[in-house]
Structure formats: C-alpha cells, structure tokens
Amino acid sequence: MTERQTILCLQGGGALAAYHVGVVRALREAGVVPTVVAATSTGALNAAVLCGHRANDPVAALEAFWRDLGRPSWPFAPTLTTALGAFGNPAMYVPRGAWFGLANWDSLYDTAPLARTLARHVDFERLEPRLILTATDLETGGVVVFDSATQDLAGSHVLGASALPPTFPAVAAETEAGEVHRCWDGSLAGVSPLEVALARIPPEMVELAVVVDLFPQRGGVPTSMGEVGGRMLELLSADRSAAAAARLERTLWIRPERPEGATGAADFASSAVRRREEAGYADTRAALAG
C-alpha cells in the first residue's frame, strides 16, 4: 500500500441508515471518493451496495436499494408503517412463524428476503473500493473482521455483520483464516469500524477518515419501556471512533443536525427514507463547508 487512503465509516441505525445515501451523494459531488469503506450493522448493507453495485452510479444504486427497503407511507397515520413493520418487510425480513413457538426461537424474524435483496443489488465479484466489515462472534464475544482485500466476500458476511439479536438470526460466515464463526451485529463488540480499519491500515497512510455518527451519546432519561429500548439502541449504535480518530491527521465528522433517535430505526416509510437521504446530503455539505 503506497497511496494514502480515504476511509468512509458507516455504522448502524436501521431505517435511519438511509441518511448514508445523502452522505455519499454529497461526498461524490465534492470529489471525496473513498478508497476504503469500513462498516457494521445496517451500515454494512449500504457499504456492500456502495462497493459492489451493479450500476455505473453508486448513488443511484444506493437509492434503488432503499426504494426496495422502503414501505408505503400513510400521511394520515404516520405511525402505521412502523406498526405494520412488526409483520415483516418483504425486502428484508419475515416473521418466523406461529408465535406460540417463540420461547424456542433464536430470532424473531427470518432474513432470507434480505439475502435475496442483496443478491439483486450487489455483485460480490467486483467489490471496489475495499470493503471491511465488522461482526461479533456470538460464542466468544470477540471481533470478527471480513476484508475484501484478504478474502472473497459474500452475502453471508454482510448478513452476519448486520444480524442484531433478537430481531435477526446469527449467520455463519468464514474468515480469511478459513474459520467459520456464528456472527451477530458488529456493534455488539463495542468497537468502531474506524478502529477496525486502522488495525489493518497504518494511520500515517490515511489521508482522511469520514465518520458518520447517527446517534448522540447524550440523551434524556427514559420514562417508558419504549424509550428504554430506544435509548439502549442509541448507546449501542453510537459511534466510538474518537480515540481512533485522534491518531489521524484529518477526520470529517458527519452528524445529523436534527437527530431522530432510535425510535425512527423501525420506520421504513418511503417518505421517511427520502427525508433522511436529503438530511444526509445537507448535513454533509455543511460539514464539508465548515
């Protein structure tokens, strides 16, 4: 590796990750093209499309991917899309089956639809730029890294890096060493995509790191079970790149001007998806100008 690298770091957030689409659009317009994409959780889905898209335009590819994930909007019942999400999203997940067997399940949903959606949108034979995904070994709790520079990646690696329990099932995926791990979402390992990337790329070889942080570290005191769950997801998904970024010459932080919080993570309404894409675009342009 002789050329200095530009690393784009994408974390999770469920439906909130539509924000990443606008981020990529603004970066490309500004001439900032990543040579490495490091990601986990829902960010891993976007990263896979960005690196392995089947179109000539990565922004158009991401927009098409999120059109598939989006659900009909109900202007007069804005919470209906989120409520109906409990019954599945045909592009992502379907309920496991009859609820009376819940006690013996290892997840609430089956992600076979997401595997098919990824197969339509991602050509894993042509991953460019370099893709580095982070997952968590559910048995050891250790960090599992999948790197397109050292191994061939497939849909199983993306699904493993984004399998947040108990919603989604663990996924078996093979590492560069030939070891098969049962993987959950990488956010459970408590490391940031940037930290993982810098374990493989010397900091002095990094020209710029772009870190997208969808969730604030600080938040209010929850007063209901719904708010407790939301705050837990915020803390789980909040970016932890500060220490790693301190080792770099330049880091561009991109944060929502108006954070939605974790309650929006299940809202795949097409109108909400478009709103987040536009917010990501505007916030990134502001960060680049600042």
Task: Give dist(CA 84, CA 179) in Å, integer.
Answer: 39
Task: Give dist(CA 37, CA 215) in Å, integer.
Answer: 19
Tell me the CATH number at 238: 3.40.1090.10
Q: Which domain holds residue 193?
A: 5-289
The β-bridge relationship of strands 36-39 and 143-147 is: unpaired
Q: Please state the domain count of the chain.
A: 1
Of the listed ranges 54-58, 70-74, 162-166, the least confidently predicted one is 70-74
Tell me if 56 sits within 8 A of 28, measured CB to CB: no
The β-bridge relationship of strands 143-147 and 206-212 is: unpaired
For the chain, percent of residues with pLDDT exceeding 70 = 89
pLDDT for residue 236: 65
Determine phi and psi for 2, rounding to 5 degrees: -115, -30
Q: If we measure between CA atoms, which residue out of 240, 234, 236 comes closest to residue 259?
A: 234
- Prediction pTM value: 0.92
Residue 189 pLDDT > 70: yes
Mean pLDDT of 177-204: 96
Mean pLDDT of 94-105: 74
pLDDT for residue 118: 98
Task: Provide Rg for the chain, Cα atoms.
Answer: 18
Which tens digit of pLDDT belongs to each residue from 229-269? 667 766 765 667 888 999 999 999 999 998 887 778 889 99
Task: Give dist(CA 110, CA 93) in Å, integer.
Answer: 5
Residue 46 pLDDT > 90: yes
Q: Which residue has the higher pLDDT, 72 or 182?
A: 182
Within 122-248, where are the H helices?
155-161, 193-198, 225-237, 242-245
pLDDT for residue 223: 77
